[in-house]
Structure 1
Amino acid sequence: MSGGPRIGAYGDHALMVDLAGLDDVHALAAALRAAAVPDVVDVVPAARTVLVLLDDAATTADLARVEDAVRAAWESRSAVAQEGEGRLVEIRVVYDGQDLPDVAAWAGLSVAEVVARHSGREYVVAFGGFMPGFGYLTEVDPAIAAPRLATPRTRVPAGSVALAGDLTAVYPRATPGGWRLLGRTDVELFDVDRDPPALLTAGTRVRFREVDRLPGDADGDAAVAGGDALSAEGDVLSAGGDAHSAEDDRRPAEGDRAGGVEVLAPGPLTLVEDEGRPGWASSGVGRSGAADKMALRLLNRLLANDDSAAALEVTLGGLVLRFHERATVALAGATAPAVLDGTPVGMQAVLEVRRGAELYLGFAARGTRTYVGVRGGFDVAPVLGSRSFDVLAGLGPAPLRAGDRLAIGPRPSRLPMVDLAAPRAATTGIVELTVRRGVRDEWFDDAAWRDLLGVTFEVTDASNRVGLRLSGGRVGRRSGELPSEGLVPGAIQVPPDGQPVLFLRDHPVTGGYPVIGVVRTGALDVAAQLRPGDRLRFREAS
């Protein structure tokens, strides 16, 4: 690429900047962060792109103004040193991955030769993304650079050492993924109590060392103590220890046992969610937040809370709460039968709750997520500035379980001005989601766009807060490998098998399959209420 960056609108609140290579990416990202452009909440560098994320309230005029700021930053860019440059991290690996034979067959080598070529090189972290602690490592031996899987796995185990074309990486936690699995390690890649939280930052050098087993593999072996220790060489950081899994450390703070709200039954899944944690995407931490933001904002408006107040996101229903202090409550989102102190109550209404009362939330007939809010918000400990739980990253207060006690935050000084709001129309029949084209026209011809708009898709049961996997039709795309780049909520990614994935709030920060379009912001809240078996169509934005 020559003649400067290519900039395109990427959904309603983002710009995608295409550049020639990593040096330009790093220089522009540094220049944009230094410029502190108004309305820009995050800058996400990737292999050949920089994704510029704007605030939710940004308008088309704001996008144009930020595009001008991006061009100005490009003109003022300079070479910058990368955090972690010069540091060498050594990661021990048991090479027993299930894709090793396939990589060997693709390369025309033996499994032992693939292992020797993978472990016999030094890699460099080009950028972070996808999830917290995930570093994209370059300098893969071209002889073993097998492409991604045609169909992503629904679950890749934590600690998997994987390969995707000319990149290799370690998965910090269990997640869906399309990389080829070569082995496993026990490295702790991300720790919110470490500074910086990510072990692998841009510029860090990495070596993989083959071992026969990890300390936890054999009975009687004690797990390696957490944390990272400098080796005798002094300049090599030996990455060992079990991945942090102390969920009890993330239980909601109970505060005063005399008050608060007690969880008697959490239903299938109940999470604490707020507006999310913008500003961490370059470290692999997505924004997350309530899947249906419109429902959360309605709750907080009814209760006169700040927009940032945390509520409970209840998947399908089944939540039972006991109130140990007086409270003001509201419900929004998917309509579910609700009973307060033995009396049926409605949605989108301000409810006064006495001390000792119990709230029962039945199962929603339609929709997926019902929101329960209290005046003052639920007061749990924030993680990286947010009280949201991110199911992909595993960050935030843990999913609720029976016996948890939630504190209620300070009540706002202003009083609720509305005591009842009209409910949102229920999604019935085939749902239409408005979509605008993405920035990867070179990967999709007009026939592919017609494929997307002309098919009625069905939500599969391999769907969650990360995204909706769709079946019922195929979308054509160019073959080949796309260098990983930033993603936004609402992005419709098309893997080689042509089965689209619509990303929701807990989407990966970066991904390597091309995006054909982006669902408009309002339609994304509707998509968040779809459940397996629901049908949808995409309609082009006017």
Structure 2
Amino acid sequence: MIPLRYGSHALLVECADLDEVAALHAELLRRAEQGALPPVLDLVPAERTVLIDGLDDPASLAADLATWTLPPARTEPGRTVQLAVHYDGPDLDEVADAWGVHRDEVAAIHSAHEYRVAFCGFAPGFAYLTGLPERYHLPRRPTPRPSVPPGYVAVAGPYTGVYPTGSPGGWNLIGATDAQLWDLERDEPALLVPGSNVRFVPSPTAPVPTPTPSPVSATASPPRAAPEADPAIQILRAGALTTIQDLGRPGYAHLGVPRSGALDQAAHRLANRLVGNDPDAATLETTLSGLTLRALAPIVVAVCGAVAPVRVDGRPAPWAAPVELRAGQTLDVGVASRGVRNYVAIAGGVAVPPALGSRSTDLLSGLGGAALGTEQPREPRLRDGDLLPLGAVSRPPQPADTYPVTVTAPAAGGSAIELPIAHGPRPDAFPEAAWRALTTHEYTVTPTSNRIALRLDGPALARTGPDTIPSEGAVLGAIQVPADGRPIIFLADHPPTGGYPVIAVVPPDALGPAAQAPPGTRIRFRAHGI
């Protein structure tokens, strides 16, 4: 086992093979249950590595790992799942050419083998399936698609996978299935779990979805029913994208569930403080165009984050300050003039039912965002007319001047921001010239950025190794470099695993400016020792 430092709060432990990965993961879980492991946020097994994220002292655990002797991992036979697949994916011709066969032969080759779920990750319910012979292994696509709809069957490296929900993806799409891989209403949401066996059965009738530019699944699972509660606010105008967010749901990355949570956590925390909430109370996160809500009972609100006009019944109201609304009054947050995301905190916090311990909306898995009265399957983003309950008010508003963190207004569009970075877990994956380019040139935020990642344009970064690497756990703030060389900064909804090398890591507490960077913002990276 080789522990590699991964930013300020994580270790990436390199293992000899999948058996050692399984043994290390089992040992970490055993020690955690016995209280013999330092507190961690996530343990993410992957192809050759185990990510240990959320450590206060990574160096101490790295030294301790050298003394461990791992018992063999227990293996038990799993159930077999059959998936009907229509082999007519958009990359089928390219895969057939790479395999040296006619496109009609791809289905027979791919379905002739039994597959096994080695591990999960990347997206909720996404399973990495082994079993494809080595002569059919293909690299990932040079540039990942911003969105792959649910149901696509894909191959990359030694693996086959099925996209359970709409998500970004760089694998080669060969077909589609209508099986529901991720369903929150099942006792076990993931259809494919480690140890399961999978058989693909060619079908002439299974639908093939069409890729769309949106990273949000149009077939997300319906939110769980809300308990009986009196609504306290109504969303009159939800804007471009408004979601419910708190501090996120760490601890489920091994199932492919992102941490989610407020992208600009400092702004989220300050808004909560201003209305007397605890830091983890749920707020409303808006995107660019703000929102309009009506108070159905007397409430206290505060708006922080992006700079935008705030009005109560059409009259100007203060930004980043507590504001009282009587029943029937409306709060309008206008279009952001600086920054991207506002955080609207309401005293008591938005009290929709938690999912996996958090009220945060995860657009990939369909977790969170359960408005009162929602009955039909729908995306978890808020919509016009949604009704939301609030929790009990626990304390009076707190003054902003005693807030322990300085929160500054976002930079103006087109201006430059500076982000500190430390080396990624594998410095030897990049030549020194790539690090110099990253820390001396400016990069520009592109319009394809979202809650998953900030996608940048600028000088391509060279690598010393292959375009892709075996899939491994990824941390918040990781700067991944796909085959086209353009860096991507992972934000709160990032996939728990990825297959492109990471050149650097932005510390999580420094990501606020990135979360507020609109397209066209220039970014400079500053080397920061850890």
Task: Tell me if both proteins adopt one fold, taking TM over 0.5 as the criterion.
Answer: yes
Does the alignment pair 1:454 with 2:440?
yes
- What is the match of residue 33 of structure 1? 29
AA matched with 1:378? V
Letter of the aligned partner of 1:26 in structure 2?
A: A
Q: CA deviation at 1:88?
A: 1.1
Q: What does 1:69-80 align with in structure 2 at a 5 Å threshold?
A: 70-71=65-66, 74-75=68-69, 77-80=70-73
Matched-pair contact (CA < 8 Å) for 1:391–1:466: no
* C-alpha distance in structure 2 between counterparts of 1:44 and 1:110, whole Å: 38
Larger mean CA deviation between 37-46 and 502-511 belongs to: 37-46
1:14 Cα deviation (Å)? 1.3
* Other-structure match for 2:61: 66
Provide closer, same or farther for how the CA distance between residues 282 and 251 of structure 1 changes in structure 2, counting only shifts above 3 A.
closer
2:410 is the alignment partner of 1:426: yes
CA–CA separation in structure 1 for the residues paired with 2:443 and 2:91: 30
Pick from 231, 248, 264: which aligns with 2:236?
264
Task: Quote the Cα distance in structure 2 between the aligned partners of 1:473 and 1:298.
Answer: 36
1:473 aligns with 2:459: yes
SS of 1:368 mapped into structure 2? strand
Q: Distance in 1 between matches of 2:389 and 2:280?
A: 16
Which of 175-184 and 63-72 deviates more? 63-72
1:245 maps to: 219
Whether the aligned pair in 2 keeps the contact of 1:303 and 1:350 (CA below 8 Å) is yes
Displacement after TM superposition at 1:191 (Å)? 1.9
Q: 1:229 maps to what in 2?
A: none
Deviation of 1:345 after TM superposition, in Å, equals 1.7
Is the 2:176–2:207 Cα contact (8 Å) retained in structure 1? no
Deviates more, 1:396-405 or 1:336-345: 336-345
Quick one: which amino acid aligns to residue 508 of structure 2?
T
Cα RMSD of the aligned pairs, angstroms, is 2.0
Give the aligned partner of residue 501 of structure 2. Answer: 514
Letter paired with 1:482? I
Compute the displacement of 1:192 (Å).
Answer: 2.3
Verify the 8 A CA contact 2:177 2:208 in the aligned structure 1.
no
Q: Distance in 2 between matches of 1:335 and 1:295?
A: 11
Whole-angstrom distance in 2 between the partners of 1:314 and 1:512:
31
Aligned partner letter, 2:168: P
Q: Which moved more, 1:434-443 or 1:370-379?
A: 434-443
Q: Is the 8 A contact 1:437 1:518 kept in 2?
A: yes
How do 1:18-417 and structure 2 match up within 5 A?
18-36=14-32, 37-54=37-54, 59=56, 62-68=57-63, 70-71=65-66, 74-75=68-69, 77-82=70-75, 85-214=77-206, 245=219, 249-250=222-223, 253=226, 255-257=228-230, 259-397=231-369, 398-412=380-394, 414-417=395-398
Shift of 1:216: 9.8
Letter in 2 for 1:491: A
C-alpha contact (below 8 Å) 1:255/1:407 kept by paired residues: no
Counterpart of 1:15, as a letter, is: L
Structure 1 residues 254 and 35, CA gap change in structure 2 (3 angstroms): closer
The alignment partner of 1:275 has SS state of: coil
Q: Distance in 2 between matches of 1:439 and 1:526?
A: 24
Alignment CA distance shift 1:454-1:215 (3 Å): closer
Distance 1:525 1:106, change over 3 A: same
* Contact 1:350 1:419 survives alignment (8 Å): no
Aligned match of 1:435: 421
- Measure how far apart 1:411 and its partner are: 1.0
- Equivalent of residue 494 in structure 1, options 481, 497, 502: 481
**Does the aligned pair in 1 maintain the 2:306–2:409 contact within 8 Å?**
no
Where 2:139 maps in the other structure, the secondary structure is coil
8 Å contact 1:252–1:380 — kept in the other structure?
no
- Per the alignment, in what secondary structure is the counterpart of residue 469 of structure 1? strand
What is the CA deviation profile of residues 439-461 of structure 1, one whole-angstrom value per residue up to 9, with x for unaligned ones? 12231111111121122111111
Deviation per CA, 1:64-86: give whole Å up to 9, x if none: 333345445x42x3223357x33
Give the 3 Å change call, closer, same or farther, for CA 32–256 of structure 1 in structure 2: closer
Q: State the AA in 2 paired with 1:67.
A: A
Q: Give the drift of 1:514.
A: 0.5
Unaligned runs of 5+ in 2: 210-216, 370-379
Alignment partner, residue 483 of structure 1: 470
**1:372-408: CA deviations, max 9, x gaps?**
0011100101111111111233322111111111111
Give the share of equivalent positions with the same residue, in percent: 47
Counterpart secondary structure, 1:373 = strand
SS in structure 1 of the partner of residue 206 of structure 2: coil
Structure 1 contact 157–171 (Cα < 8 Å) conserved? yes
- Which 4+ residue blocks in structure 1 deviate beyond 6 angstroms? none
TM-score with structure 1 setting the length? 0.88
Cα pair 2:305 2:410 within 8 Å, conserved = no
Contact 1:32 1:70 in 2 (8 A): no
Q: Secondary structure at the match of 2:110?
A: helix
Q: What is the one-letter code of the residue matched to 2:389? A: A
Alignment-mate amino acid for residue 177 of structure 2:
T
Q: Note the alpha carbon deviations across 1:295-336, whole angstroms, 9 max, x for none.
A: 111122222322221000010133001001111111111111
SS at match of 1:269: coil
The SS at the match of 1:50 is strand
Task: Give the 3 Å change call, closer, same or farther, for CA 299–184 of structure 1 in structure 2.
Answer: same
For residues 124 and 343 of structure 2, what CA distance do their matches in structure 1 show? 27
Query: How many equivalent pairs are there?
Result: 502
CA distance, structure 1, for counterparts of residue 428 and residue 98 of structure 2: 27
Structure 2 length as normaliser, TM-score? 0.90
Can you list the C-alpha shifts for 1:487-532, whole angstroms capped at 9, x where unaligned? 1111111111111111110000101001011112232111011111
One-letter amino acid of the counterpart of residue 472, structure 1: G
Alpha-carbon distance in 1 for matches of 2:284, 2:368: 13
